[in-house]
Chain A
Amino acid sequence: SQTIHQWPATLVQPVGSPLSLECTVEGTSNPNLYWYRQAAGRGLQLLFYSVGIGQISSEVPQNLSASRPQDRQFILSSKKLLLSDSGFYLCAWSVRSLGRNTEAFFGQGTRLTVV
């Protein structure tokens, strides 16, 4: 069966510090991968998605970046965090096939607090 791992679960970082959140998927190959952010009481904002190694599409221009160094690994990074980067970050994957690519499976999330 497929599983998705996302860590850490919680993170407190000072303003201006770097960030690296990692997500890995097991039990499937060539998935679509996604990073979302959710502010308190709000909906999910799509940050990045990837259809293959090294292929990253950015939805929201800001001080975040994403990389996909391996087929089932997706990394969210920042060189200098802002207070506004605080939120609940979720990684997700979907099957790359017709009719199923809109069914996403989510990790447990990382709650980031920038202080």
Chain B
Amino acid sequence: LAKTTQPISMDSYEGQEVNITCSHNNIATNDYITWYQQFPSQGPRFIIQGYKTKVTNEVASLFIPADRKSSTLSLPRVSLSDTAVYYCLVGDAGSSASKIIFGSGTRLSIRP
């Protein structure tokens, strides 16, 4: 399984765009990149998933360069409610069953 590395914590202010970068140098051909959000005392919630280039949904955008050795989660115009831990995962979505391994995540704090 590819290991991921992301910053332990980040701070930002309301209304700003926040970019969280994750490194996954050993990503395999079949691996997809998935990001989750976790609030205190809750389970993680799926945010976005991608394989290459750019993926956008109503919550975030995910940028993946051509070599796929890193990815960046972009949160536009954050609010206080975006304060949470964000996890970057790399897993084999090319088979029907996959272990889902979480790292330590990035603790994002949004200030007024």
Q: Which residues of A contact B (CB under 8 A)?
A: 32, 34, 36, 42-46, 49, 51, 57, 59, 88, 90, 92, 94, 96-109, 111
Chain B interface secondary structure, helix, strand, loop or mixed?
loop
The distance in angstroms between the C-alpha atoms of A113 and B49, with both chains bound, is 34
Decide: A46 and B104 in contact? CB cutoff 8 A.
no
- Per the 8 Å Cβ criterion, residues 65-112 of B in contact with A are 87, 89, 91-105
* Residue of B45, B96, B99 touching A98 (CB-CB under 8 A): B96
Chain A interface secondary structure, helix, strand, loop or mixed?
strand
Interface size on B, as a range, is: 20 to 34
* Residue of B34, B94, B95, B99 touching A103 (CB-CB under 8 A): B34
User: A102, A103, A109: which has the most chain B beta carbons within 10 Å?
Assistant: A102
**B57 sits at the interface (CB 8 A):** no
A95 and chain B: residue at smallest CB distance: B96
How far in angstroms is the closest Cβ of chain A from B87?
Answer: 7
